[in-house]
Chain A
Amino acid sequence: MTTDTKIDIPVMADLAAEGKQVDYLYWVGCAGAYDLRYQKVARSFAKILNHLKVNYAVLGTEESCTGDAAKRAGNEMLFQMQAMQNIEILNAYGIKKIICTCPHCYNTLKNEYPDLGGHYELINYTEFLDEQIKLGNLKLDSNPFLNESITYHDPCYLGRGNKIYDAPRNIVKAVYGEVKEMKRCKSSALCCGAGGAQMFKDAEKGDKEVNIERIEDVLEQKVDKLATACPFCMTMLTDGIKFKNKEDEVENLDLAEIVAQALGL
């Protein structure tokens, strides 16, 4: 599907068959698995995990949607069906720590699974990468990037939802030197328009699409790059860039891709 070569990804079922335990489960999420653009983000993050020689695994074909979108669209029945099946698998493997790239999966696993019997330590990949950079485990070559300007769009479910504002910015700064902040940023950040299951339906009648409103915030900063940390934000904002015919001026990258690039992976 991608132009890259195959990456070796440890799968939980295989490791369990060999009687092995893992330190972390990487929750890839449906977008990581299927979305053509966001697959590259999952690949970048997996390459970083391999580079760090982290003892991790993914669930592979045993992973199923967390149910976030179903829950937010009012289908609690479907959400809980998904949640209980996932919890059964996660508990069967004795999973303790889960790393998520998608903030929607992260939020659901962290905040909504515990009441259904799924108790795990949730780590967002931005926190994980920030810590690895601080520990000096990632030798980032920022030279090619320092003369480029970049802004960061806060995903609602990471920022307002779980108060993760600094880790993503630390990562961007480690590679690009500084973050050009949009007027609406951090807890005042404007949504990309995809949350609450909007990703899967047409928008209600209005005079503008939310992602266009947001991409104007980005373009106002006259940056070369736009950093995102959510598959839905990436879809919406990349679409916004295309809508404005600015593909040649602004590139939308995920934080995992930014780190992977600076590692030369």
Chain B
Amino acid sequence: MIKQTLFTVVLLCTLGVFTWSVFRLRAFFKLTKPAYPIKNISARLTRTFNVAFGQSKIFRKPVIGLMHALVFWGFLVITIGSIEMVFDGLTGAERSFASLGGFYDVLMASGDVFAFVILVFIVLFIIRRKFMNIKRFRGVEIGPKANLDAQLSLYFIGFLMLSLLAFNLGYLSNHSDEILGVYPVSSQIIQSTGLDFGGIQETGWWVHILLIFIFANYLPYSKHFHVFLSIPNVFLSNLDPLTKYPNLESVTKEVQLMLNPEASYDETEDVSRFGVKDIEDVTWRNYMDSLACTQCGRCTDVCPANITGKRLSPRKIFVDLRHRMNEKGSLLLKGKEDAKSLIRDYISEEEIWACTTCNACAQECPLEISHPNLIMDMRRYLVMEEASAPSGLNAMFANIENNGAPWQYSPEDRMKWAD
């Protein structure tokens, strides 16, 4: 009974803190703009099945991809076991889901195997991150704090698996007569070591469940938030072709008015800023992308600008957006403001203009983040609000305006190619 009460209190605290984090994020989302309507559910489900559950983009790097996929699939199975542990904690029962029979055996067996596999991979991931010089784990946006966050997340997961195995080992030692579920790795360990793990069952259980609770509340502030957001981010992703850059509706109205002065125009409508200068100009999708970003660096790794030594790093755009939302969002909610903005104080013009819109980053992103469209949104602000484009581009604009071509040729000469 004491255990149940204690567990209930801990669970309520966990949910309380988590709810607070969710409300904070919700308030930030309310500062953002609409993006696109969520339609075509079947196409979304297909994409979620392929990209999220099937890990199709993760597999573009086959070896490390397989390791990640196994960790992910393992997490899915183990999560069901975690839900059971919450039930057990609340009711005081042991292995409440055992009535599922054969399915339970499969669930527990795969959970036990996955816990071991994940533990091994996490150790490899820690070694890889610490000692192997992986280029995509570096960059100005990956400072000491981001590095610590990445390491910490790995240790969290490692200890989660270790405690789960400890619990399974203890359970097997304490229930040698009647065992619910199947535990291939743990029983193998007991067999080969001949040790009695009975004493660590309770500790394993508590450490595991407490780590889950702490990790869950750490995630909303971590780059590892993708544990929660990856599947929704893929499901809610933009289904348009990568190179379709949506037209700006507020501009359409102005252009129609210019071409046809008779057109009616609703003067009362709020004419906000063109493009993106700061966090209140981004869409919910941009902000969600920034929360989901795992900082894996696959985007930056394939960026032609970054590869050739330019300052642009697609990953940094979203790391910056998240930081700036934390900063300005918190201020706005208190009714305050500061003199900074996402553009210039976080993202320089040099970065914004270096993008070739080749979409290699978006193609690679396992979470379907769209970097080039946000970069072009910032160009819109620079060009339409500040008229501060690089000089070459101003010449190109002038040519299109005057002769309908980006180069300085007369429209009368348009058929000369055939002569």
Residues from chain A with Cβ under 8 Å of B379 in the complex: 72-74
Interface: B275 (CB within 8 A): yes
Residues A77 and B406 in contact in the complex (CB < 8 Å), given A60-B414, A112-B245 = no
Q: What separation, in Å, do the CA atoms of A74 and B372 have in the docked complex?
A: 12
Interface: B307 (CB within 8 A): yes
Interface: B195 (CB within 8 A): no
Stretch binding the partner chain, chosen from A175-183, A207-215, A237-245:
A207-215
Residues from chain A with Cβ under 8 Å of B274 in the complex: 76
- Residues 296-354 of B contacting A (Cβ, < 8 Å): 302, 304-305, 307-312, 350, 353-354
Q: What separation, in Å, do the CA atoms of A111 and B359 have in the docked complex?
A: 15
Residues from chain A with Cβ under 8 Å of B252 in the complex: 80, 116
Interface: B10 (CB within 8 A): no
Interface: A188 (CB within 8 A): yes
Interface: B109 (CB within 8 A): no
Main secondary structure of the interface of B (DSSP, over half): helix
Interface: B417 (CB within 8 A): yes
Query: Do B353 and A201 have beta carbons less than 8 Å apart?
Result: yes
- Residues 101-122 of B contacting A (Cβ, < 8 Å): none
Instruction: State how many residues of chain A have any CB contact under 8 Å with chain B.
Output: 78
Q: What separation, in Å, do the CA atoms of A105 and B417 have in the docked complex?
A: 18
Query: Do B302 and A201 have beta carbons less than 8 Å apart?
Result: no
Interface: A190 (CB within 8 A): yes
Q: What separation, in Å, do the CA atoms of A69 and B245 have in the docked complex?
A: 12
Query: Do B243 and A73 have beta carbons less than 8 Å apart?
Result: no
Scan A94-115; emit 1 where CB is below 8 A from any B CB, else 0. Answer: 0000000000000100011001
Contact among A2, A67, A196 for B355, CB-based, below 8 A? A196
Residues from chain A with Cβ under 8 Å of B245 in the complex: 71-72, 112
A168 CB to nearest B CB, Å? 16
Query: Do B308 and A156 have beta carbons less than 8 Å apart?
Result: no
A56 CB to nearest B CB, Å? 13
Query: Do B243 and A75 have beta carbons less than 8 Å apart?
Result: no
Residues A74 and B244 in contact in the complex (CB < 8 Å), given A63-B414, A191-B304 = no
Query: Do A74 and B381 have beta carbons less than 8 Å apart?
Result: yes
Interface: A253 (CB within 8 A): no
Interface: A137 (CB within 8 A): no
Q: Which residue of A lies closest to B392 (CB)?
A: A201
Interface: A11 (CB within 8 A): yes
A-B contact number at CB 8 A? 236
Query: Do A187 and B363 have beta carbons less than 8 Å apart?
Result: yes
Scan A49-65; emit 1 where CB is below 8 A from any B CB, else 0. Answer: 00000000010110111
Query: Do B259 and A73 have beta carbons less than 8 Å apart?
Result: no
Query: Do B384 and A75 have beta carbons less than 8 Å apart?
Result: yes
Query: Do A33 and B275 have beta carbons less than 8 Å apart?
Result: no
Residues A210 and B304 in contact in the complex (CB < 8 Å), given A30-B405, A73-B383, A75-B383 = yes
B317 CB to nearest A CB, Å? 14
Interface: A84 (CB within 8 A): yes
Residues from chain A with Cβ under 8 Å of B397 in the complex: 70, 73, 75, 78
Stretch binding the partner chain, chosen from A127-135, A144-152, A157-165:
A157-165
Query: Do A60 and B415 have beta carbons less than 8 Å apart?
Result: yes
Residues A72 and B357 in contact in the complex (CB < 8 Å), given A78-B397, A193-B304, A197-B393 = yes
* CB-CB nearest 8 A-B residue pairs: A74-B379, A161-B243, A196-B357, A207-B309, A201-B392, A64-B404, A191-B358, A206-B309
Chain A interface residues (CB < 8 Å from chain B): 1-2, 6-9, 11, 28, 30, 32-35, 39, 42-43, 46, 58, 60-61, 63-65, 67, 69-85, 107, 111-112, 115-116, 156-157, 160-163, 187-191, 193-210, 212-214
13 contacts between A and B (CB under 8 A): A8-B418, A28-B414, A72-B379, A74-B381, A111-B241, A156-B359, A195-B356, A196-B357, A200-B406, A204-B353, A207-B309, A210-B305, A213-B307
Chain B interface residues (CB < 8 Å from chain A): 60, 240-248, 251-252, 254-256, 258-259, 274-275, 302, 304-305, 307-312, 350, 353-360, 362-363, 372, 376, 378-384, 389-393, 395-397, 400-401, 404-407, 409, 411-419
